[in-house]
Each structure stands twice: as C-alpha cells, then as structure tokens.
C-alpha cells in the first residue's frame, strides 16, 4: 500500500534537519499535490514552533497551526512518568490518519534532541515512525568527523533503523566539509557500509550556522534605535566587543561583525558606520549598544540623516551580560528570512537530485511492520467502521464497567450489561463512571426471559432438557447473553472475567453451535510482537486434539488470521521438520496437515515443521528451502494444549509481546472468553475482536 508519508529526524544535536525538511517539502509540494506538515511533538518553550511557522507558511498555508502538531514536550514527559506511552502513540496515529484523509501526502518532522528523550528505551523518533508506519529519513551531523567515522555512523544508523522495525527511506549527512565528499563516497561504495539505502551529502554552510540581526534582536528584546528594518536580515558571522580606542579597534574589524559597545562610545559607533563608505575596511553587520545608553544628540543626527546606515540596536544589560546573551542566540531559519531560505534551498538542490527523491517518495510503500499499538488501534477502527452490539453478562465486575465506559466513549461498539439495573447504576456512580449509553437488562425481570426459556427448552429437549431445567439455566447470565446472540438481539458476547471457560463455552456449544464443516471450537491468541502479529492456536481449549480436529483448528485459525488482516501462512508444528522425524506425535501432525490441505487447497499449509524453521528465514533456507511457509509463517498450530499454552506464555513473558485472547473460533456467532485475571485493556481488546468477528458472520 502506498505510504504517502515520510518522517525526518535528526539522529544527533545540531544536524540541521530543517534544511532537509525544506528541501524535501519543496520537492513534494511540486509533485504530490496537497501536502501537509506534521510535528508529533514540539518544544514547549517555543511558541509558536519556528519550524511549523516556516513550513506551514511557505508550503501549506491552509493548515491551521494546531493541526500541525499533536503534543508539547512537557506533555510527553508526563506520559513517560505515568507510563502512558500507548495513549501517546495512539493519539499520534489518530492525528496522522486524520491528515491523510485530507491531504495527498504528509511530511512529518521529528522531535528535537531534548533531555527527556533519555527516558525512552529506544530512539523515540524511530519508535514514533514505526508506529505511524512512516518511512524514516535520518539526518547525521557530519561536522568535525572523518569520512571513515561518518561511514561507520551511516552503517550504525541503518542497523538501528532496521532493528527498530522502521522502513529506511534515506540518510542525509549534513554540515560536511565539502573537500571530504570524494573520500566519503569511496567509503560508502562498500555495500556493508551503506546498507543499500541512498545516502545524500550536504556541505556545511557557515551562513546557515549563524544568526541574523533579526534573530539576535528578537532573542535579546532589543530596541531598534533608528526604527527601521533595513539590513536586519544580515548574517552575524562573529561579534566583537569594542573596549579599546577607535584607532586600535579598526585593526580588528572583520566582514559581518556585530559590534558590541557601550552606547556612550560615539567614536566607535561612527567608526563602525564609516566602514560602509571605505573600500579599505570590511563591512560590519550591525552595532549593539549595551548599558541602556544612546549616542549623543549630534551623533544621532549624523546616524539618522544618512541614506545608508548600519542597523543600530540597544539593550539595557551591561556589555559582559550582553555578550553572553548574544553567544547563546541559536541560528534559525525564520519565515521572513528569504536570504537564508534561498541559501538553504540552493544548498539542498545543488547536492540532492530532486527527481530521485520524487520517484522514491512516489514508490514508497507502507512497511509491513505492525506494532502492538498499531494493531490495537486498527481493531478499534475496524470495529467502529461497522458498529456491532456486544452483550457483557458480568456487570458485577468493576473491570467490566470500566471497560464499558471506555468502549462507549470511543464509540467502538454498542453494549448491553446484564444484571440488576439499580446495582449497576449505583456501582458505576461510586466508581465515577458514565454508563448512560449502555443498555441495562435484568434477566430476573426482563420480558425476554420467558421467550428465552421456551426457546432453550425447544433447542435442548432432544437432550432430555425439561422446562424447569431450562428455567434454571436461564438464571445464569451467560445463558441469557448467549440467547440474546442466538436470537439476534446482540451480535456477540464476551464473558469469563468471573466465570470459567466452560461456563462461557458450554452455552455457546448448546445454543449457537459450530460452523458447518467444523466440529470443534478452538482458540487462538493474537501475539503482537514488536513489529508483527502472529496467530497461535490452540492454546486454551482442546487438551489433545486428534489429527482431524487439529486440521480443523488449522483451518479455523487461518480464517481468523484473515479476518484480522493477517495473511495466513500456516505452520503445523512438531518436534521435527519434514520427513526427518518419526513417532506418533509427528504422524498426527503429518496426517493433520494432509487433511487440512485437502479441505482447503487455497491455504498455504506446511507441516510437520519445527518452530525455528517456521519463523526464521535463515533456518528455513537450510531445513525447507522450497517451502512457501517456512521462515514466513504467520499462523502457528501447536500439536496439543500443553505445548501451545506454555509456548504462548513463554513468548509473552520473554519478549514483552502483547497476547490478545483467547479468541474463540468455530462458532456460528462470536462468543469470547476472558481470563479471570484479565485487565481492563484485555476486556476492551476482546470486545473489539468480538465485534470484528461479528462483521464477518454470514447471515
């Protein structure tokens, strides 16, 4: 799928990413139509953010300032402290998706190097780019580095980006000594150093690294003594403190000097002005008067009466303090600074082939990376797209009530809670929850109950069910909820927070029953690893399925994977690969593989196969080089519950994977089981999954 996004970030301080941002934006705005600019996080102390003001004003003036960013750095510090990084990333995904709906392309610019970034275990810019699905452009500072050091840094950057799971678009090495270009290009000819990703080289330009008079004036809150802006765009190449006589001072004047001098030194002021008239002296950029003093009346008459003049600024601080303040002024490219803008764009366009960037951007695709945050966000989006009605029979549990409020507020599903209405409302009020949009049904007094009792009796009378037995069964909220699903009053049910798996599955098996051709209800866990989602089955229901049941589990798991956008490539796991091993357990898997292939020839199914050969391409090349599944499996079918349950928990705990499930499969309508130790996020995810399953139910 076309990406239509790029993410630019400096990988170290003062790398000059704005020059790269401007150059890329210039190319995109000419070739991609309506382009948006987005900064996930801006510095709190810069209002407005200078990069947003520059890029928005020049390339996307129709965007509002607020649309160009999501958070301030101070907010992110709070998220880190409160362990709310998932919320932070979800909000970024939501904002970017909104922009992608309105614009043809979105260029993202990353965070600046600030102290709070050390709180993250990985580079936060790469983490954001990975979760947003944006190809990544890294900008390296080449100043004061040897070509060999830069080549090594390029390789380290490539490895870091790949390891994080980002798609690597290009690397820019900025601020390089131009005379080292040829040497570095030789170093980068080694494919082991460049990683096959384009590397663009930009030379250092001293003027871009220096502030203008306007920058200094704004930073120091200067008074413009002559009250005009002529010459304020001049670049201050260096500054001089004039503390000697005029005769000796003139020996030290250089082109582009900012002269810092007490305001009562008329001789120095006039000497500085005179450099404009003489071919024997360099031209100074401006004069900054310290101490709050101004020149005498006669000197002011001379200064104000000239057609050509040097900018004359004044501050109240003493010379020492003023000098320190000037030294601290950063070099910026401001929206109105056309000279610097032209210089930056000229530098970029001279050294970067714009057509190459344009073609790369047009061909760039969304990476295959799927992070846990991306997957869970996608669950909500898919559930919300065709909203379903889910019944939750365990309203006495606080976790259920909290999850209900979140699901309703995020407009993911409609929810019915079963239980005493007054007790539900009272408990919600005591917890400070708003459940006003939930439907409340008390099975003990509902007008639906008699109908459900009669229907259940008719469904089970061939199993010796009696009317009294049916009435007794319907006192169990899980049976009442299952009957709601059966009769179409709800699209799915989620239970198990306070009931056993058997309590959840038994009513579904008795009433809803299995899909034609499937005789066994099974389960999968959706294992959200750092950069991909895998399907593990069966890890929760069937202790020791036979070959026919194992084949059905494989088919159901493949269909579940497809339901959630995961291309099913099924690995039938065993302790041996191919024909290398023997034994009853291996033969069961071999037979199950044969049955599954015969039933579903459209699926890619491999087995028996060991886990390492199923997941790791390098192992697969050795053990099963011709397999379409080996090394690329997405659905892992375990031979028994013991193996599956232990494996999913081992992977979950050792890798930090998010395990969503168990997700029940094989039923005509979705009913899902919760772990009794589930957390609120687990309930939320399971409800969303149930809603998505309901979307694919054949009516």
Cis peptide leading into residue 348 (ω within 30°): no
d(CA 168, CA 197): 7
pLDDT tens track for 448-497: 999 999 998 888 888 888 888 888 888 889 999 999 999 999 999 999 88
Instruction: pLDDT band for 44, please (50, 70, 90 cuts).
Output: low
Identify the top-confidence range among 188-197, 274-283, 333-342, 401-410.
401-410
Instruction: pLDDT band for 699, please (50, 70, 90 cuts).
Output: low
Q: How far, CA to CA in Å, does 350 sit from each of 15, 32, 264, 361?
A: 18, 21, 47, 19
d(CA 430, CA 619): 56
Residue 45 is predicted with a pLDDT of 63
Instruction: pLDDT band for 687, please (50, 70, 90 cuts).
Output: very high
d(CA 570, CA 588): 16
Structure tokens that stand for 587 in this block: 């033969």
pLDDT tens track for 381-392: 889 889 999 999
Instruction: pLDDT band for 316, please (50, 70, 90 cuts).
Output: very high
Structure tokens that stand for 75 in this block: 């907010």
Domain boundaries, the chain: 5-205+340-360, 213-330, 370-513, 514-666
CATH number of the domain located at residue range(s) 5-205+340-360 in this protein:
3.40.50.300
Identify the top-confidence range among 89-93, 150-154, 372-376.
89-93
Pick the CATH number of 213-330 from 3.40.1390.20, 3.40.50.720, 1.10.287.1080, 3.90.380.10: 3.40.1390.20
Residue 615 is predicted with a pLDDT of 93
C-alpha torsion sign, points 503, 506, 512, 513 = positive
C-alpha torsion sign, points 113, 118, 123, 127 = negative
Residue 268 is predicted with a pLDDT of 81
**Which of 193, 122, 200, 125 lies closest to 153 in space, CA to CA?**
193
CATH number of the domain located at residue range(s) 370-513 in this protein:
3.40.50.10950
Average pLDDT over residues 179-198: 69
- pTM to 2 decimals? 0.74
Find residue 274's DSSP bridge partners.
Answer: none
**Which of 406, 386, 366 lies closest to 563 in space, CA to CA?**
386
| Under 8 Å between Cβ of 256 and 234 | yes
**Which of 366, 370, 373 lies closest to 566 in space, CA to CA?**
370
User: At residue 367, does pLDDT exceed 50?
Assistant: yes
Report which secondary-structure segment, H or E, holds 686: helix 680-695
Residue 115 is predicted with a pLDDT of 45
| Under 8 Å between Cβ of 545 and 640 | yes
Q: How far, CA to CA in Å, does 41 sit from each of 73, 136, 335?
A: 6, 16, 20
pLDDT tens track for 263-273: 888 888 887 77
b or e along 459-496 (b: 16 or more beta carbons within 10 Å of the residue's beta carbon)? bbeeeebeeebbbebbebbbbbbbbbbbeebbbbbbbb
**Which of 527, 498, 558, 559 lies closest to 660 in space, CA to CA?**
527
* Topology match between the domains 5-205+340-360 and 370-513: yes
Residue 342 is predicted with a pLDDT of 83
Residue carrying structure tokens 């969304």: 366
CATH 3.40.50.720 fits 514-666, yes or no: no
Percentage of the chain with pLDDT > 70? 95
Residue 194 is predicted with a pLDDT of 46
Instruction: pLDDT band for 683, please (50, 70, 90 cuts).
Output: very high
């Amino acid at each position: 799928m076309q990406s239509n996004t790029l993410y630019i970030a400096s990988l170290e301080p003062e790398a000059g990413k704005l020059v790269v941002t401007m150059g890329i934006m210039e190319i995109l705005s000419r070739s991609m139509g309506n382009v948006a600019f987005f900064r996930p996080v801006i510095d709190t102390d810069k209002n407005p953010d200078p990069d947003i003001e520059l890029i928005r004003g020049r390339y996307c003036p129709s965007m509002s300032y607020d649309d160009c960013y999501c958070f301030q750095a101070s907010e992110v510090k709070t998220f880190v402290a409160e362990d709310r990084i998932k919320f932070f990333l979800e909000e970024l995904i939501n904002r970017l998706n909104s922009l992608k709906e309105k614009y043809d392309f979105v260029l993202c610019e990353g965070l600046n190097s600030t102290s709070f970034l050390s709180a993250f275990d990985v580079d936060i810019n790469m983490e954001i780019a990975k979760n947003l699905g944006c190809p990544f452009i890294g900008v390296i500072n080449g100043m004061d580095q040897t070509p060999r050091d830069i080549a090594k840094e390029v390789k380290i950057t490539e490895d870091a980006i790949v390891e994080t799971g980002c798609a690597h678009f290009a690397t820019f090495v900025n601020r390089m000594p131009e005379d080292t270009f040829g040497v570095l290009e030789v170093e980068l000819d080694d494919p082991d150093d460049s990683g096959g990703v384009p590397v663009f080289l930009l030379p250092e330009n001293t003027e871009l690294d220096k502030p203008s008079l306007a920058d200094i004036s704004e930073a120091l809150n200067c008074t413009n003594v002559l009250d005009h802006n002529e010459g304020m765009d001049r670049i201050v190449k260096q500054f001089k403190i004039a503390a000697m006589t005029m005769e000796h001072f003139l020996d030290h004047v250089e082109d582009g000097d900012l002269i810092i001098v007490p305001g009562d030194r008329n001789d120095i002021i006039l000497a500085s002005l005179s450099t404009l008239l003489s071919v024997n002296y360099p031209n100074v950029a401006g004069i900054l008067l310290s101490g709050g003093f101004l020149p005498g009346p006669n000197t002011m008459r001379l200064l104000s009466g000239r057609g050509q003049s040097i900018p004359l600024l004044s501050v109240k601080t003493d010379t020492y303090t003023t000098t320190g303040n000037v030294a601290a002024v950063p070099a910026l490219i401001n929206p109105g600074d056309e000279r610097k803008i032209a210089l930056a764009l000229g530098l970029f366009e001279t050294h970067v082939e714009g057509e190459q960037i344009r073609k790369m951007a047009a061909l760039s695709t969304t990476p295959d990376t799927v992070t846990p945050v991306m997957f869970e966000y996608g669950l909500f989006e898919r559930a919300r797209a065709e909203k379903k009605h889910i019944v939750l029979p365990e309203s006495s549990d606080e976790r259920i009530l909290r999850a209900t409020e979140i699901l309703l507020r995020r407009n993911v599903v409609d929810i019915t809670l079963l239980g005493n209405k007054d007790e539900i409302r009272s408990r919600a009020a005591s917890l400070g929850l708003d459940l006003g949009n939930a439907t409340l049904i008390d099975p003990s007094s509902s007008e639906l109950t008699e109908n459900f009792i009669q229907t259940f009796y008719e469904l089970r009378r061939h199993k010796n069910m009696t009317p009294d037995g049916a009435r007794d069964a319907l006192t169990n909220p899980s049976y009442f909820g299952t009957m709601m699903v059966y009769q179409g009053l709800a699209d799915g049910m989620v239970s198990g927070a306070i009931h056993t798996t058997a309590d959840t599955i038994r009513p579904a098996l008795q009433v809803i029953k299995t899909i034609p051709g499937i005789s066994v209800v099974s389960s999968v866990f959706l294992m959200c690893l750092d950069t991909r989602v895998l399907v593990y089955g069966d890890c929760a229901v069937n202790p020791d399925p036979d070959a026919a049941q194992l084949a059905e589990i494989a088919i159901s798991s493949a269909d579940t994977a497809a339901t959630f956008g995961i291309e099913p490539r099924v690995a039938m796991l065993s302790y041996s690969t191919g024909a290398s091993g023997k034994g009853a357990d291996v033969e069961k898997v071999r037979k199950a593989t044969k049955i599954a292939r015969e039933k579903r020839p459209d699926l890619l199914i491999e087995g028996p196969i060991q886990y390492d050969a199923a997941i790791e391409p390098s192992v697969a090349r050795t053990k099963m080089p011709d397999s379409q599944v080996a090394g690329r499996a997405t659905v892992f079918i375990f031979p028994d519950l013991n193996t599956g349950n232990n494996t999913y928990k081992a992977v979950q705990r050792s890798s930090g994977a998010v395990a969503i499930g168990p997700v029940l499969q094989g039923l005509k309508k979705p009913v899902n089981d919760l772990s009794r130790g589930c957390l609120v996020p687990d309930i939320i995810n399971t409800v969303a999954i149930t809603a998505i399953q309901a979307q694919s139910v054949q009516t």
